[in-house]
Amino acid sequence: MSPYILLAFVVAYFALLLAVAFLTSKKSDNNSFFIGNRNSNWMLVAFGMIGTSLSGVTFVSVPGGVMKNGFAYFQLSIGYLLGYIVIAYILLPLYYRLNLTSIYNYLSSRMGIKSYKTGASFFILSRTLGATARLYLVVNILQNVILNDLKVPFWVTTLIILAMILVYTFEGGVKTIVWTDTLQTVCMLAGLVICVVFILNKLDLSMGDAIAQMSAKGYNKVWFTDPNSKLFFVKQILAGAFITITMTGMDQEMMQKNISVKTLGDSQKNMLTLAVTMLGVILLFLFLGGLLYLFAENNGAAMINDAFMIGSTNVGKDNLFPAMALHYMPQAFSIIFIIALISALFPSADGAITALTSSFCIDILGIQQRDDLDEKGKKKLRQRVHLIFAGVFLIAVLGFKAINESSMIDVILKIATYTYGPLLGLFTFGILTKRTVNDNMVPLICILAPIISFVVDKYQKEIFGNYEIGNELLIFNGLITFLMLFIFSSSKKEISH
């Protein structure tokens, strides 16, 4: 299909986002940028968060991993459900009771200023790496299917997309993102359903027939019962729960949307609605993955070394869906795929840049306590930080391009096990104990815990034999942080400085 036609649809989609941003950013101020004036509709937030939670990585990596791991990802999703329940009934009441703008302010009141700054810093690191990994995957696909033919360099493509995101988030922040994420989630889920229906019709299969063929090839295996395997269901469910608690409940990007809702009750409804919906959506993504492999085989693709050979082209897991959609299906389907893909891209990138700007301004720069700046001065400072993070995103995406991993979802989850572990330990210590930590030791503890986790992961065969550590490394990391915090704490009420 002509890259000019695909580019035209991308531009038209962006124009629609701009229109929504223009309408929702009127009379915006710093309060609406950071928390949407606490006036967001919970149903819109819940629906829009589907797109933020899934992203372009889910759109291509989850279906792409079906051949190797079957439906094992669904085990992780069951853990997600448990994690959302913990967030709804433990973390959200805490955040609303303290009337937080940044959730890391909790660490300041509970443990001390250095704990607060450390928690915010780990969020900034975690979200920057995770969001740019997601952004890289989709930008790389757009580069391969559209921009390479137009002789546009990869760095220019990334710069243009970041500029597009800046344009529609620069003024409105969370107030705008709640609406644009809703629009983008509609487009992404519509694309997903259309893809499934089209491939079923193309293969002349009912859902039952498709499931039977997947079963014969082992594509839809859900439960893995070998305790030594990384995919052991107990490991996956526990890891999924803690991944959600940290990557959603202890993440400013995700929580700033929740605390922008009017009441705690509505915010809890938002979280539980998201939890149930996500299970169904992820299952549909996995089903799509099985269909894609059936479709690829039906079109003469051969499996060689964990990749498909389509003609003379080697297609990795993350590129299977794009290859099928853009080269083996009608032009209309290619357009639907591209729109759905960029609809998965923007919610994960726009919210991340906004949340990082909010956290850096509030938690690191203390913008809300700056008496030397009036409202206009605070806005200018916030906008400068916004631009700086766009530059950081550009550099990080180029870094992922150099690394060029075949499955970005594995990269993102691995990053999370190291960077979110200290946040898990900090919040758990604060909530479950009444002890007073030595605030001066907290930064060192939060640096040491991931280093210890890395060493254990690297030498796991020597330490554990046949036992394989998977995503439960996050739990181990959080536990190490918790234990060290406990060691350097006392039962005294005074904070030790």
pLDDT at 281: 86
Residue 477 belongs to some domain of the structure: no
Distance CA 41, CA 267 (A): 9
Residue 95 belongs to some domain of the structure: yes
Residue 434 belongs to some domain of the structure: no
pLDDT band at 85; cut points 50, 70, 90:
very high
- Hey, CA dihedral for 114, 119, 124, 125, is it positive or negative? positive
Q: Which two tokens stand for residue 115?
A: 């704990």
Residue 437 belongs to some domain of the structure: no
Residue 275's domain comprises 3-418
Beta bridge partners of 303: 308
Residue 423 belongs to some domain of the structure: no
Provide the b/e sequence for 296-328 (b: ≥16 CB within 10 Å).
beeeebeeeeebbebeeeebebbbbbbbbbbeb
Whether the predicted pLDDT of 38 surpasses 70: no
Cβ of 375: how many Cβ atoms within 10 Å? 10
How far is the first Cα of the chain from the last one, in angstroms, to the nearest whole number?
64
**C-alpha closest to that of 346 among 190, 192, 181, 186:** 181
Whether the predicted pLDDT of 30 surpasses 50: no
pLDDT, one tens digit per residue, over 163-177 is 877 776 655 445 566
pLDDT band at 305; cut points 50, 70, 90:
low
For the entire predicted model, the pTM comes to 0.75
pLDDT at 29: 47
pLDDT, one tens digit per residue, over 350-377 is 777 877 887 788 888 877 667 776 777 7
Tell me the mean pLDDT in the region 136-142: 80
The number of CA neighbours under 13 Å toward the Cβ of 165 is: 30
Q: Identify the residue with better confidence: 81 or 358.
A: 81
Whether the predicted pLDDT of 313 surpasses 60: no
Residue 391 belongs to some domain of the structure: yes
Whether the predicted pLDDT of 497 surpasses 50: no
Apex CA 343: angle with CA 279 and CA 241, to 5°? 30
Query: H-type helices in 102-153, by residue range?
Result: 105-110, 113-142
Candidate ranges 179-188, 189-198, 388-397; pick with highest mean pLDDT: 388-397
**C-alpha closest to that of 238 among 485, 494, 470:** 470
pLDDT, one tens digit per residue, over 460-478 is 888 877 777 777 888 899 9
- Structural domain total, the chain: 1
Query: Could you give the percent of the chain with pLDDT greater than 70?
Result: 78
**C-alpha closest to that of 249 among 276, 281, 284, 274:** 274
Residue 456 belongs to some domain of the structure: no
Kindly list the distances between the CA atom of residue 370 and the CA atoms of 48, 62, 114, 212, 383, in Å, as whole numbers in the listed order. 33, 45, 19, 63, 16
Residue 86 belongs to some domain of the structure: yes
pLDDT, one tens digit per residue, over 416-459 is 889 889 999 999 998 988 899 999 999 999 999 999 999 988 88
pLDDT band at 35; cut points 50, 70, 90:
very low
Whether the predicted pLDDT of 484 surpasses 90: yes
Burial class (CB in 10 A: 0-12, 13-18, 19+), 247: buried
Whether the predicted pLDDT of 298 surpasses 50: yes
**CATH number of the CATH domain containing 79:** 1.20.1730.10
